[in-house]
Amino acid sequence: MNSSGLASAGAPRASGAPIRAGAAQGFTISVAAFFPILAIVSLAPAVPSIVHHFAGDPHADTLVPLMVTAPGMMIALCSPLVGWAADRFGRRKMLLVATLVYGFLGIAPLVLDSLQAIFASRFGIGLTEAVILTVTNTLIGDYFTPRQRRKWLTVQGVIGPVFSISVIALSGVLTEYSWRGSFFIYFVAFAVFAAMLVCLYEPTVKVGARGEETANAVHTRFPWPTALACCAVTLFTAVLYYVFIVQGGLAFETIGVHSSSRLGVLIAIAATGVPIGALTFGWLSGRWPIRHLIALYLALFGIGMLGIGFASNEIEMTAFAWLQQVGAGMTVVSLIYWLTSLLPAEHRGRGTGMWVCAFFAGQFVSPLVFGAFAALGGGIPHAFIGMGVLGIAGAVVALMIRGSLGPKTGV
């Protein structure tokens, strides 16, 4: 661990040498970046218990499931503004405040008795997540060199699935004792806040022709063409990324898998492809041009979904689901690495906010596109085939656009 990363909470040392980020910063950011996922997976096992507890509320069947996805809507709406604020006012204080508020809002349902009040707290969670997701990904670019970014993005991609499985299991156990049980998990935010307070510092941003260091100054125009190109690719990718997450269970039902426990096992097997994808990114990102990485994960999506659409038994479907999950494991880390490599440091927050908006917008667009394919083709398998063709087409386009997708290799 680089001890200098623990030496200060916001400014260069007295000697004038800037603080160098190390393992303390990398692990703290990697754990904090999981919070937006925690908000979804922690509630997944608890939804039936919460619905049962509020059975007397006529809106429970609608509001409780929406509690799971409501934060995502706030992330999509607020992230661009958050990114602008991070560039204008700095990263560290925003992240600290957001993490602390995230913790209090997360545990609020332990004392709230109104379903409407709990639902409102979830919107607040989404706002804090917009800050956390935008700023942590911005700091990955601010703190680390391209080679170090690849390392820490790979770490995020590997530990994310491990955290998800652990949180789902813990939430299930806690929910056995009380419908409020899953909300105890949010106490972890206070521990992460303490780690941030000690480890994270406000980065300096190199700008201008002479490369002088200033604190978050802006001397260049915002690179709109670059940012919009990244957002367009991200939106297209996210539409494919969320297909199996949302529709995977329905796909297995079409081949006769109706047992919830069996379905859980098969989806868990497929999900082991996610960390494999993250490790694949870590291995290839220093060797391949970014357009090859994008083409690869789109091809994996495409082949995987085509296979799911044509599968006739659970072994075939699980194998192809695993393949597209490898693509999913490459997706977020590849896109963040691409974005942070292209954007000037003084505009990285704003660009990252736009990227987060595009990715979470894909969460809402994906079911609409999938539904359109299902209506045209006549069912779930045909929709997977249509989305698979879309993925393959995207991979071909990524390979054809030479020289337009950023640096040829990692540095």
- Compare 342 and 187 and report the one with higher pLDDT: 187
- pLDDT at residue 404 in the model: 52
Specify the range with the lowest mean pLDDT, choosing from 33-42, 180-189, 332-341, 382-391: 33-42
> For residue 405, is pLDDT > 80?
no
Identify the pLDDT of residue 205. 65
Kindly tell me if the per-residue pLDDT of 207 is higher than 60. Answer: no
pLDDT of 270 strictly over 60: yes
| CATH 1.20.1250.20 placement within the chain | 20-203, 224-400
Q: What is the chain's mean pLDDT, rounded?
A: 86
- Least-confidence region, from 6-20, 218-232, 239-253, 353-367: 6-20
pLDDT of residue 382: 95
Answer yes or no: CATH 3.40.50.360 is held by domain 224-400. no
- 28 — pLDDT class (breaks 50, 70, 90): very high
Instruction: For 255-269, write each residue's pLDDT tens digit.
Output: 998 886 788 788 888
pLDDT at 217 over 50: no
Percentage of the chain surpassing pLDDT 90? 55
pLDDT band at 45 (very low <50, low <70, confident <90, very high): confident
| Band of pLDDT at residue 334, cut at 50, 70 and 90 | very high
Q: What is the pLDDT of residue 411?
A: 38
Q: pLDDT tens, 57-105?
A: 888 888 888 887 788 889 999 999 999 999 989 999 999 999 999 999 9
> Which residue did the predictor score with more confidence, 317 or 2?
317
Strands 213-214 and 205-206: antiparallel
Highest mean pLDDT among 243-252, 270-279, 394-403: 270-279
Q: pLDDT-based confidence at 403, cuts 50/70/90?
A: low
CA distances in angstroms from 87 to 35, 77, 105, 144, 209, listed in the order given: 22, 18, 26, 17, 19
Pick from 46-50, 283-287, 303-307: least confident: 46-50
Token pair for 44: 């997944």
**Helical packing angle, 60-89 and 92-107, nearest 10°:** 160
Nearest-CA neighbor of 188 among 166, 156, 155?
A: 166
pLDDT higher than 80, residue 9: no
Residue 211's pLDDT band, with cuts at 50, 70 and 90, is very low
pTM score, two decimals? 0.81
Q: What is the pLDDT of residues 107-165, one digit of tens each?
A: 999 999 999 999 999 999 999 999 999 999 999 989 998 889 889 999 988 888 888 87
pLDDT tens readout for residues 271-285: 889 999 999 999 998
Q: Are 230 and 351 in contact (CB under 8 A)?
A: yes
Q: What was the pLDDT predicted at 218? A: 45
- Three-state SS letters, the chain: CCHHHHCCCCCCCCCCCCCCCCHHHHHHHHHHCCHHHHHHHCCHHHHHHHHHHCCCCCCHHHHHHHHHHHHHHHHHHHHHHHHHHHHHHCCHHHHHHHHHHHHHHHHHHHCCCCHHHHHHHHHHHHHHHHHHHHHHHHHHHHHCCHHHHHHHHHHHHHHHHHHHHHHHHHHHHHHHHCCCHHHHHHHHHHHHHHHHHHHCCCCCEECCCCCCEECCCCCCCCCHHHHHHHHHHHHHHHHHHHHHHHHHHHHHHCCCCCCHHHHHHHHHHHHCHHHHHHHHHHHHCCCCCHHHHHHHHHHHHHHHHHHHHHCCCHHHHHHHHHHHHHHHHHHHHHHHHHHHHHCCHHHHHHHHHHHHHHHHHHHHHHHHHHHHHHHHHCCHHHHHHHHHHHHHHHHHHHHHCCCCCCCCCCC
What is the pLDDT, as a whole number, of residue 7? 40
Specify the pLDDT at position 208. Answer: 40
User: Average pLDDT in the 347-366 region?
Assistant: 91
Mean pLDDT score, 323-328 = 95
Please report the pLDDT score of residue 367 as a whole number.
87
Specify whether the CB–CB gap between 79 and 361 falls below 8 A: no
CATH code given to domain 20-203: 1.20.1250.20
